[in-house]
Structure 1
Amino acid sequence: MQTDSFVQKGAAAQLAVHFNGKAQDFYFLMLPQATMLPVAAAIEPLRIANQVSNTELYRWYIMSEDGAPVVCSNGMTVTPDMPLEQLPQDAVVFVCAGNEPQQTASDSTINWLRREHRFGRRMGAICTGAFALAQAGLLRGQDFTLHWENQPGFIEIYPDLQPSSNIYEITKTFMTCGGGNAATDMMLNLIEERHGKNLAIIIADMCLHVRSGGQMAPQKSNYAVAIGSRNQRLLTALQLMQDSIEEPLSIGTLCDRLDISRRQLERLFSRYLDQSPMNVYSDMRLSHAYALMNETAMSVTEIALASGFNSATHFSRQFKRKFGASPHFFRKGWV
């Protein structure tokens, strides 16, 4: 939406911010199927910063490749302020993506990102926007992250790039977050660096947002929270399984690593998860395959191998059992 004024009135008491510099400009490049929540979660702290300080500390603009409206992942349409164009020298640009991230950034967009990077623009990515930055070849040697759901597919496509599990990453040149409310945490960090902790606290309160405690916070709840148990051997077993998807560990190897008997391991899983260890492990690998099926162009055989199945036939049978359709008919638009 075109913004006539970046400073709005509000009911909250104002905070005096002593700042004589120019407003910082943020540009949000929305790709087709972008998720709306993290974009709003990134922009609202900027708006509130201006509101509670009664000062134009920030300005924000929405972009699309050609200036045409963008349909988000929830079906809602966003009208941008402008098409891709050369940005001011001190501008910050965020690539905002969501579903089908490997397919939504055109060659024109990728070339524009490369050009703006060469011109020294500080860049970032929200949710799955890191796919576009990787396509542009901009993430080598960088600390970055993207939404946990899309990380398995990203790693298969870009095996030389390793996203972190943190909710956001901020470096001198790149800022990335996993999406959702992580975008608010990331922007509060940037606001605190520029205008102080008191302003960041007020903005968080205005957003009814409890800050995560820093960028090292993980994106997902740990296994202890997920399963309602702090049994260390069970948690270690689950982590070992998660770390060995492509080359699954045998039950014997798991027991050796945990220094327990097979019967003890099976009792642990039965008590806390009501499943056998192998069933839990199989579900992990099938969930991994599901992500690759949706996020990559890998063949069914390649996905089977990447998910620890030596036989594509066995993989297809297990996939159909869990998801109700064989992998060959599961591709987007087929079921």
Structure 2
Amino acid sequence: MSDDSFVQKGAAATLSIPHIGEPQDFYFLLLPKATMLPVAAAIEPLRIANQVTNTKLYRWYIMTEDGAPLRCSNGMMVTPDMALGALPSDGMGFVCAGVEPQDAAGDITLNWLRREHRFGRKLGGICTGAFALAQAGLIKNQPFTLHWENQPGFVERFEHLKPSPNIYEVTGSLMTCGGGSAATDMMLTLIEERHGKQLAIIVADMCLHVRSTSGAAPQKSNYAVAIGSRNQRLLSALQLMQESLEEPLSIGALCTRLDISRRQLERLFSRYLDQSPMHVYSDMRLSHAFALMNETSMSVTEIALASGFNSATHFSRQFKRKFGASPHFFRKGWA
């Protein structure tokens, strides 16, 4: 990329901010099947910050492991600026992954991450980039996150690590986000830290982005939004179910925890969800199993147990009922 292309003309008034020194460099390493949305959502705030200040505050570069074009999750090819290489002392490196993240990072990438970490570089993960960071041993006790869809598989693979449900986490030298527009929120935070709140607000407005006040915003809509009800007992029941997938609670145990009768619980689910409590609970566990099927190498029996099914045979029947194929055929079909 030409160095002159980092500052472009725009119609918005220019914001004058004091700036001394070299631009800050961002390097985005795309892994196979990376999702393009969060990559663009991370880069555009940097471009807009330059545009509205008419100053080269930031530079950004796309990397692939070998410098060759890479196909993203939507099938589009991206031509990188360079292959993996040493980052400058103040450069920030982000691993950008997407679907099938457990197989995306090779030894070259993992060794590069370890080397840059040893040199004190700031590193991060976008969407499912946390898989590569964890494989490289770079996630310890600090908060981190990745896309909610991929968290069940991540937790099964890295049992000692617990991702945050938040849209992004910025802690010291580790920066992670759940993908999508969360990448914009993360970048706005970095822009504000370096150049102030006024610039971050203007960049957010240019992106037509309603900024989250902090990374503590959850990635998923809460149950109240999802089901269109604020009935506290129903919401508490759904939360208890979600927290007890591996060791499901009986209807009686749910009722005891909620201090509600079985008849009342069934009425709630029938009224708001048009399903029985057990049917909803079973679907939750099967969705959990679906994620594990896609993103782990766990056996069908192991997945059945991790999803609260005592019998692999019963699990297989229920899985086929919901997804149209037995777990074995489902996995072969995606191989």
For residues 175-324 of structure 1, the aligned pairs below 5 Å read 175-324=175-324
Q: How does 1:28-67 map to 2 (within 5 A)?
A: 28-67=28-67
What is the Cα deviation at residue 4 of structure 1? 4.5
Q: List runs of 5+ in structure 1 lacking aligned partners.
A: none
- CA contact under 8 A between 1:169 and 1:215: conserved in structure 2? yes
Deviation for aligned residue 1:333: 3.6
Pairwise CA distance, 1:22: 1.6
Question: Any idea what SS the aligned residue of 1:56 has?
Answer: coil
- Kept after mapping to 2: 8 A contact 1:27/1:63: yes
Q: CA deviation at 1:213?
A: 1.7
Could you tell me which amino acid in structure 1 is paired with residue 159 of structure 2? P
CA-CA distance at 1:185 after TM superposition = 0.4
Q: Which moved more, 1:4-13 or 1:288-297?
A: 4-13
Secondary structure of 2:83's counterpart equals coil
- Alpha-carbon distance in structure 2 between the residues aligned to 1:70 and 1:124: 20
Alpha-carbon distance in structure 2 between the residues aligned to 1:313 and 1:24: 56
Separation of aligned partners in 1, 2:127 and 2:296: 17
Letter in 2 for 1:176: T
Q: Spell out, residue by residue over 1:26-71, the C-alpha distance to the aligned partner (whole angstroms, 9 max, x if none).
A: 0000000000000000000000000000000000000000000110
Runs of 4+ in 1 over 6 A off after TM superposition: none
AA aligned to 1:198 is: Q
Q: Distance in 2 between matches of 1:171 and 1:86?
A: 22
Greater mean alpha carbon deviation, residues 17-26 or residues 309-318: 17-26
Q: Corresponding residue for 2:155? A: 155
Match of 2:20 in 1: 20
Give the alignment's TM-score, normalised by structure 2. Answer: 0.98
Please, what TM-score do these two structures have when normalized by structure 1?
0.98
Q: Distance in 1 between matches of 2:145 and 2:210?
A: 21
| Structure 1 pair 26–176 and aligned structure 2 pair: CA distance change class (3 A) | same
1:21 positional shift? 2.3
1:70 and 1:119 map into 2 onto residues whose CA distance is: 27
Offset from partner CA, 1:120-179 (integer Å, 9 cap, x none): 110000000000000001101121000000000000000100000000000111000000
What value does the CA root-mean-square deviation take over the aligned residues? Answer: 1.0
User: Tell me, what secondary structure is at the counterpart of 1:331?
Assistant: helix
1:216 and 1:34 map into 2 onto residues whose CA distance is: 25
Pairing 1:144–2:130 present:
no
* Unmatched tracts of structure 2, length 5 or more: none
CA distance in 2, matches of 1:18, 1:87: 26
| Identity over aligned pairs, percent | 80
Q: Is the 8 A contact 1:2 1:81 kept in 2?
A: no
1:3 deviates by: 5.9
- 1:209-234 CA-partner distances (Å, limit 9, x unpaired): 00022100000000000000000000
**How many correspondences in the alignment?**
335
